[in-house]
Structure 1
């Protein structure tokens, strides 16, 4: 399962008039597929229902349609919008109103089909990352230095080229003047780049005197509402497009004096196996 956890925030935007419906293109690109298909289907049905009412308002101008029968007008509208080709029902030649309405609906159907096709293609072609992050991060000595560590893995059977990890500590802070701020501190990794990211990657940040985490404890991080934010970027070698994945760890998701269980198992024939079933497992150090 891909993980792309949103950065947590308990801040309410007050006085902002921005709404998802004010940016419908972005909304239709980002909502779940079942909502997308549902909205497209609903818009299609409502548009045909509107044209059906307009056809009924013109009187008996559709050949072989029952007088005042909504569903005959509705299915006639579907045939017109989809350019299926008329069967038993067709517009009467002498009814100018209906023929003008058919022309308008044909143009409308062409534009709706173009927009829907573009949105569908944009959703399918949008590059996405299948990156797995460990559910928790650990802090334990590594080569004698306290080190923050977390795991990440590429879930696709391909490679992420020029992969780069950026890790940021976000915490509350009060300045000497008494002003409250939400501060961001970059955490330097032992290795922040990988030319080829194909399997797993254990990221490590040494907590030395130059680290923003130096001297921190589980209690102090919780008091400051600290959060470790991770951003992974790279190029998917299959589609040659930039991709990204993000994750975050709250203070309670940092396990002190723990280590990750080894997931690399060596076989008797000299080969190795990566056991992803133990990817999230930790042990006390």
Structure 2
């Protein structure tokens, strides 16, 4: 069975859809890939319990919470944690000196007979803080040092060193993990601000473009998407979509250093066909995911973006974004990538042929 459908009628249906007049909604995923969904506030009567539960969940994944913080908060946590550690043990050293009677000794170099000074020359809280700082940083005691005849001082010294090493390992590891995060590499991947619907090899396709802003290539690049549709007023229905590269099909691109255009055929089996061509769908948001591997480390990074109905343009295609300079070297035209579109009418007649294998093909 063969059905003829005029592509201009499809565009007219899409442009006259009530989606254009629908109220503005917040995105699920922002253009730069951050999740915009927020958890609902706790009821007033349950607020203390809900807040305590949220803190417990954060403590269960303390490492992920620290690595995910912004740099300003990581630096603040670094300074605050070490300062709190020094102050805590300064109080303990001062308390030990007070309980042992060292604060009342006038001359620590010549203490009374039978009195053992636990830490030499801790006569004030300032001296106790200085000793705590020197112990943690192992910068040398100078005139202040613990006595080997005071077991309490040796035990407290061991506890401070163990906890200090654990704190240093955690903070140093957080710094290294934050610097080497694959998400930082994904920040150099840029999507086209809009997607386009146009003809590609005889098919009506949804097209979007991505480029690598750095000269360091990425490997095994693959793009997928999830379509979030509003159903029955408030419910969100999600459907996965596949994108392919020209001549590579659904296979990953092994080398990503120049702009790539990804295609999704808009046949009747596509979840986007009712939303874009029939106009029978409600509000929708297309969230696109690009996954790639770094050449040096092999770590996988992911870049996300989203497209609303008003960010998908019909009868357009992307301008070529690569060319040659005067020396015959390849170059990327960033201006063409950003402006991205040039008018090109769709074919007047799009024939939707239902083949015997049950697949639709736009010809």
Q: Please, what TM-score do these two structures have when normalized by structure 2?
A: 0.66
Between the two structures, name the one with larger relative contact order (CA 8 Å, sep ≥ 6): 2
Q: Secondary structure of 1:5's match? A: coil
Q: Secondary structure of 2:273's match? A: coil
Find the counterpart in structure 2 of residue 164 from structure 1: 222
1:276 CA drift (Å): 2.1
Work out the CA distance in 2 between the residues paired with 1:131 and 1:82. 41
1:4 CA drift (Å): 5.0
Q: Which runs of 5+ in 1 are unaligned?
A: none
Once the two structures are superposed, the pairs formed by residues 173-188 of structure 1 within 5 Å of their partners are 173-174=231-232, 181-188=235-242
- Offset from partner CA, 1:185-227 (integer Å, 9 cap, x none): 2223242431222221111222222222224349959x73311
Q: Which runs of 5+ in 2 are unaligned?
A: 1-30, 44-49, 104-117, 344-363
Find the counterpart in structure 1 of residue 120 from structure 2: 63
Picking from 304, 309, 316, the partner of 1:251 is: 309
Work out the CA distance in 1 between the residues paired with 2:80 and 2:38. 34
1:7 and 1:248 in contact (8 A); partners too = no
Picking from 100, 109, 130, the partner of 2:155 is: 100
Picking from 60, 63, 67, the partner of 1:29 is: 67
1:95 CA drift (Å): 4.3
Work out the CA distance in 1 between the residues paired with 2:35 and 2:285. 9
Work out the CA distance in 1 between the residues paired with 2:303 and 2:70. 18
Find the counterpart in structure 1 of residue 12 from structure 2: none
Once the two structures are superposed, the pairs formed by residues 97-136 of structure 1 within 5 Å of their partners are 97-128=152-183, 129=186, 130-136=188-194
**Larger of the two Rg values belongs to structure:** 2
Q: Secondary structure of 1:183's match? A: strand
Number of residue pairs aligned between Structure 1 and Structure 2: 276
Work out the CA distance in 2 between the residues paired with 1:113 and 1:260. 51
Work out the CA distance in 2 between the residues paired with 1:117 and 1:149. 44
1:13 CA drift (Å): 7.3
1:113 CA drift (Å): 2.1
Find the counterpart in structure 2 of residue 281 from structure 1: 339
1:257 CA drift (Å): 4.0
Work out the CA distance in 2 between the residues paired with 1:185 and 1:38. 42
Once the two structures are superposed, the pairs formed by residues 1-285 of structure 1 within 5 Å of their partners are 4-9=32-37, 12=40, 17-18=53-54, 19-58=57-96, 59=98, 60=103, 61-65=118-122, 67-68=123-124, 70-128=125-183, 129=186, 130-143=188-201, 145-174=203-232, 181-191=235-245, 192=250, 193-217=252-276, 224-267=282-325, 270-283=328-341, 285=343
Work out the CA distance in 1 between the residues paired with 2:313 and 2:172. 48
